[in-house]
Amino acid sequence: MAANKRNATPIKPRRPKAEKPRRVAGAHSASTSLKDRLASWREHHRDSLRDALHRINLSRASSAMTILVIAIALSLPAGLAVLLDNARAITRGWDGNAHLSVFLTMDVQESRQRDLARQWEALDHIQRTKVITREQALAEFQALSGFGDVLEALPDNPLPPLIVVFPDSTDPVTLRDLENHLAAEPGVDLVQLDVEWVRRLHALIELGERLISALTLALAAAVVLVVVNTIRLGIESRRDEIVVVKIVGGTDGFVRRPFLYTGFCFGFGGGLVAVVLVQTALWWLGGPIDELLALYESEQSLTSMAASSLIILPMFSGILGLLGAWLAVGRHLGDIEPNF
Amino acid sequence: MIQFDRVSKRYPNGKDALSKVSFTLPAGQLTFLTGHSGAGKSTLLKLIMMIERPTQGQVLVEGQNLNGFGNRHIPLLRRKIGMVHQNHQLLFDRSVFDNVALPLIIAGYSRADIGKRVRAALDKVGLLDKEKLNPIMLSGGEQQRVGIARAVVNKPPLLLADEPTGNLDPALSEEIMDLFQDFARVGVAVLIATHDLSLIARYNHRLLTLREGRLIHDGDDRDGNGTGDTHGR
């Protein structure tokens, strides 16, 4: 019936333009002020977060399991990304070491060798050259290889004269041209381009990046699915509560909110544990890796996660959890409607 | 308060739950709704709560046609309706106080206001001293009164009850009925769906009788108790 039929009750005048007033005062129902509602909305957010944490704590064992699954799924790509970052930082200095080893024929004398080196320094794209005579090569080989005694026994020095050429560019085409040009020079036996392996390493690192991206995508999807499943079970176990809330006029947002907070908490918690796992693994690997780096004469040492990642990873994970909760809620909340 | 205008409801399985039902419930009146199970009582309540929508006709609540309401209006409509269930629909993971407070939290009342209103509602149903208990520790009659407190805590203009005395003995039923009559006295439109004929017979209130989806009786005489066919409209 129209509002004016309720003669027994004082009614606040409706706003004239309101076709569907959001809240028509009933028999004695007091309307709530905007300020009250805002405060209450804030309170509900805080209560939802507290409630989410409380429920996670209530089912501690299964919650811990969910958080650990998320953490492990995330620590794998995160840990690999840190290692790859390190590999990139270490190899960055290696480009400058690109050089061509030009082996001369055995009959080239030392003076001729020095002449050639001087001539080549005038060529385009050559920064400098370094002469390694047969005697120097032998001494170096004896010192480093440990085969000194064997070499002593040989009647002749088997090592050819060598000129190391340092190019001023690492452009593959330039290097290839330079290699061909030097190979055609008189007295040159063999030119070896020592930049190949650096390029291969770079290609490998790029491949690693792609693999980590794919892995991240796959495992992020796994995190979302884990949260979807966990929230789905949560919705199922709170079916009665959802029905009651809907009957007494709870909006979909009100029903959704605690689940979204739960999803975010799972994701965020999983991300935090992932940070701990990655840092622990890096600490564990740190000793051997630093040793390995020292053997490669690198002054780098293993760096751990950037400080920003410490918060970015949990936030990213939290957003994945939120997404999972959103999907679960959208999919399953509509199924629960009051009935009697 | 509520107006049904030639309302029909046919379910997807082809069953006609209601056929051209028309009546008006004014504010401040207590009305019984009766009929055999399957006669359409539940469907009628569901249409008021917008759990279902009519196939034909119009349902008006406070003069507003529910056919014009979208899904997002449903929560606001339900806040104007207190609903009492046969099985109470209480939540056993929280206290009596928190059960009753739920509609107020949803409607966005301030915390201080919630405390006052919940205690007023519990006082009205005589359970003020049980607010901290879990409802599972209460008797059936007490649980039903908690359900009633929750239904009326935000002072809705309309109170619906679905078999509210279904599981209670006559003395407890009378207590519950007294409460409903009190609410009607202060201007609430009360609609009680029941097939408890002895309960209906004890009070002289308006009676709507449904049979196979048709309203066959509307009035405060006692012969239209679902078995007679006096008006047969």
Which pLDDT does position A32 carry in this prediction?
Answer: 67
* Same-domain check for residues A271 and A158: no
State the pLDDT at residue A17. 40
Partners of residue A41 in chain B, C-beta under 8 Å? 108
In this predicted structure, the answer to whether residue A209 has a pLDDT above a threshold of 80 is: yes
Topology given in CATH for the domain delimited by B1-80+159-233: Rossmann fold (3.40.50)
C-beta atoms of A248 and B186 within 8 A: no
Contact A1 B62 (CB under 8 A): yes
Q: What is the pLDDT of residue B222?
A: 57
- Which chain A residue lies closest to B101 (C-alpha atoms)? A248
Q: Kindly tell me if the per-residue pLDDT of A28 is higher than 70.
A: no
Note the helical H segments in chain A. 34-58, 60-92, 110-121, 134-145, 148-153, 172-183, 196-237, 239-247, 252-295, 307-332
Q: How many domains does chain A have?
A: 2
- A23 → closest Cβ in B76, B102, B113: B76
Residue of B76, B105, B186 lying closest to A22 (CB–CB):
B76
Same domain, A285 and A321: yes
Checking if the pLDDT of A108 tops 90, the result is no
Residue of A nearest to B2 (CA): A1
Predicted confidence at residue A299, as pLDDT, reads 66
Long-range CB contacts (within 8 A, 24+) of A214-219? A215/A76, A215/A77, A215/A80, A216/A77, A216/A81, A219/A73, A219/A74, A219/A76, A219/A77
Q: How far apart are CA B68 and CA B56, in angstroms?
A: 13
Same domain (yes/no): A69, A88 = yes
- Selected residue with higher pLDDT from B110 and A19: B110
Query: What amino acid occupies position B110?
Result: S
pLDDT at A155 over 60: yes
Q: What is the pLDDT of residues A269-304, one digit of tens each?
A: 999 999 999 999 988 888 888 887 777 666 667 777
Summarize pLDDT for B208-219 with one digit per residue, the tens: 999 988 999 888
Question: Which residues in chain A have Cβ-Cβ distances shorter than 8 Å to B62?
Answer: 1-3, 24
Asked if the model's pLDDT at residue A70 lies above 80, the reply is yes
- Based on the domain organization, do A206 and A303 belong to the same domain? yes
Inspect the interface and report whether the beta carbons of A249 and B27 lie closer than 8 Å. Answer: no
List chain A residues with CB under 8 Å of B121.
none
At residue B94, the pLDDT reads 92
- Contact between A166 and A207 under an 8 Å Cβ cutoff? The reply is no
Place of tokens 């007494």: A248
Q: At what angle do helices B140-152 and B96-107 cross, to 10 degrees?
A: 20
Name the residue among A5, A24, A249 with its Cβ closest to that of B106: A249
Which of A217, A222, A319 lies closest to A266, judged by CA? A319
Task: Confirm whether A55 is domain-assigned.
Answer: yes
Q: What is the pLDDT of residues A213-223, one digit of tens each?
A: 999 999 999 99
Same domain as A130, residue A204: no
Choosing among B37, B44, B110, B148, which should be mutated to test the A contact, i.e. which has the most A CBs within 10 A?
B110
Q: Which residues of A touch B (CB under 8 A)?
A: 1-3, 5-9, 20, 22-24, 26-30, 32, 36-37, 39-41, 43-44, 240-241, 243-252, 254, 337-340
Percent of chain A with pLDDT over 70: 85
- For B81-98, the pLDDT digits (tens) are 999 998 888 999 899 999
CA distance A317 to chain B (A): 30
CATH of the domain at A107: 3.30.70.3040
Average pLDDT over residues B157-161: 95
B221–chain A nearest CA distance, Å: 24
pLDDT digits (tens, 9 = 90+) for A223-242: 999 999 999 999 998 999 99
| Sign of the torsion formed by the C-alpha atoms of A129, A135, A136 and A141 | positive
Q: How many CB atoms lie within 10 A of CB A33?
A: 11
Q: Are residues A324 and A210 in the same domain?
A: yes
- How many Å lie between the alpha carbon of B233 and the closest alpha carbon of chain A? 23
Contacts of B187 in chain A (CB under 8 A): 6, 8-9, 27-28
Q: What is the mean pLDDT of residues A306-314?
A: 86
Interface contact flag, A26 B156, Cβ < 8 Å: yes
Domain end residue (candidates: A142, A163, A194)? A194
Q: Would you kindly state where each structural domain of chain B is located, as residue ranges? A: 1-80+159-233, 91-155
Task: Return the structure tokens found at A293.
Answer: 């780096």
Range of the domain at A306: 41-92+200-335
Question: Which of chain B's residues have a Cβ under 8 Å away from the Cβ of A1?
Answer: 1-3, 24-27, 60, 62-63
pLDDT single digits (tens) B193-208 = 998 888 888 888 999 9
Domain boundary residue among A194, A228, A259?
A194
A32 inside domain? no
Looking at the fold, whether A238 and A287 belong to one and the same domain comes out as yes
Shortest distance between the Cα of A44 and any Cα of chain B, in A, equals 8
pLDDT digits (tens, 9 = 90+) for A178-192: 888 888 888 888 888
* Best CA proximity match to A167, nearest among A103, A96, A115, A102: A96
pTM metric for this prediction: 0.72
Closest to B80 (Cβ–Cβ): which among A24, A241, A340?
A24
Q: Mean pLDDT for chain A?
A: 82
Q: Is the pLDDT of residue B104 over 90?
A: yes
Domain C-terminal end among A172, A194, A216: A194
Instruction: Give the gap in angstroms from C-alpha B231 to the nearest C-alpha of chain A.
Output: 24
